[in-house]
Structure 1
């Protein structure tokens, strides 16, 4: 390959091929500027339905719509040229039938230029995953804590402890066998995540799972310290942008009230400057 060749965005099969190698890096993004900062740094960028809670103030992901995912997906796509774009399928857009899932997945890929979609569920979604993959829709699976199912799971609890472990292993095998190119493991005990990672042939992407997963993902607003309403145990804050932002806004307000902003260098003279 030429030393001057530009890096291009990986395909889903490229992510699959990273199994067992250098850990896969991913973050969520919802806007073009954030996507531009991640481009080429992350192997894939996920437009997560967490956008409902992070940017729209919803109490859960259940109120997120196809329109919201399309809007934010298209915005993120404008900021990416070197990272794979994956878009979440929102609650109610795929559970009814494989046919419903295909219609909505095709629409998301068409309208956002996404290279893949992500959907939640294990054994009960295997048929849908196989249906989509057979029709040209790459699928990233998501098992363990599935936020769209919090009402049946009883909240945001760790999944896979004690007698749940075998079911979660079965879920992982089912989505792998169905053709998913990777699977997110959310809030899964580390030992179980390690077992699953060793048992299946597709990469595992951990979020509150194990450092031995094939990759990791976090919500970008969490890791930057922008979203501060609460902090999950599995989040490490790599920045304090929320604190910095509040301080900057306070400084701006103080200067406006003191009439020290705008200063002379921020205003315009009566006459145009001479060249």
Structure 2
């Protein structure tokens, strides 16, 4: 079995080989990703990729607990982070109560909280009570409705300084790493340089400490929309549809099951 990734190893990656993070939502794919990924993120993005919703906001804690357990079962040596869904950390008390549920009911190694300086008190409350926290700054998917869409951050100096302030606040609150999403590449590089914990980018250029992608995007399985920052490493949707079409054709022609596949 592979050695378990730890927070110490993640912290030591700062300034060294970039960290590889990918989303996972079930045991099957978690097992496939285990060898290559340093960190598996059970993202509330599952609400869009697999539940067909227009955003992440209706994901529930129960959903996240179910999928986190599945991922941990499929990849026991991976470092697994559970996204805290919208509405589960509106106050310090709610955040701790819900994060405790994640830690008690799953083997997750950490939780992820969206927000910068405005969420620092909540992050500090969690970390001071034994909850490992990954931050998330920049474009915040859970704020899509209040912001009127997905908007790239860091387009001016004021925004850049605000992001640096966010990163420093989350680090000071005790987070061991953070995701930075949808930020101009040069600004994300400055943000990563401003803190001593790893900053993992998604749509934030190559000057950060690692990268994360939604697996259904990078494997070409999600066809509705492909963000500019996503590189497709596989034409998954076409491969799956072609395979299923071949199966259907063989069934209709009675070519399957052949002698090889019967008792």
Which TM-score tier does this pair reach, normalised by the shorter chain? over 0.9
Of 191, 194, 202, the residue aligned with 2:197 is: 202
Q: Which residue of 1 aligns with 2:104?
A: 110
Of 27, 31, 34, the residue aligned with 1:36 is: 31
TM-score (norm 1): 0.92
Q: Give per-residue Cα distances to partners, 1:69-124, cap 9 Å, x unaligned.
A: 001000000012322011000000012x1111011011112212001000100011
Q: Which has the larger radius of gyration?
A: 1
How many Å separate the matches in 2 of 1:106 and 1:141? Answer: 17
* Pairing 1:204-219 to 2, within 5 Å after superposition: 204-219=199-214
Of 7, 16, 20, the residue aligned with 2:15 is: 20
Of 121, 128, 135, the residue aligned with 1:134 is: 128
Kept after mapping to 2: 8 A contact 1:8/1:81: no
Structure 2 unaligned segments of length 5 or more: list them. none
Kept after mapping to 2: 8 A contact 1:40/1:81: no
1:98 aligns with 2:129: no
Q: Which residue of 1 aligns with 2:173?
A: 178
TM-score (norm 2): 0.97
Structure 1 unaligned segments of length 5 or more: list them. 1-5, 269-275
SS of residue paired to 2:21: strand
Kept after mapping to 1: 8 A contact 2:72/2:78: no
Q: Which residue of 2 aligns with 1:52?
A: 47
Question: Could you say what the CA RMSD is over the residues aligned between the two structures, in angstroms?
Answer: 1.1
Of 128, 138, 145, the residue aligned with 1:144 is: 138
Kept after mapping to 2: 8 A contact 1:52/1:58: yes
SS of residue paired to 2:22: strand
Q: Which residue of 2 aligns with 1:80?
A: 75
How many Å separate the matches in 2 of 1:32 and 1:7? Answer: 16
Shift, 1:227, TM fit:
1.1
How many Å separate the matches in 1 of 2:104 and 2:45? Answer: 21
Q: Which runs of 4+ in 1 moved over 4 A?
A: none
Shift, 1:40, TM fit:
3.6
1:220 aligns with 2:215: yes
How many Å separate the matches in 2 of 1:16 and 1:179? Answer: 12
Name the count of aligned residue pairs: 262
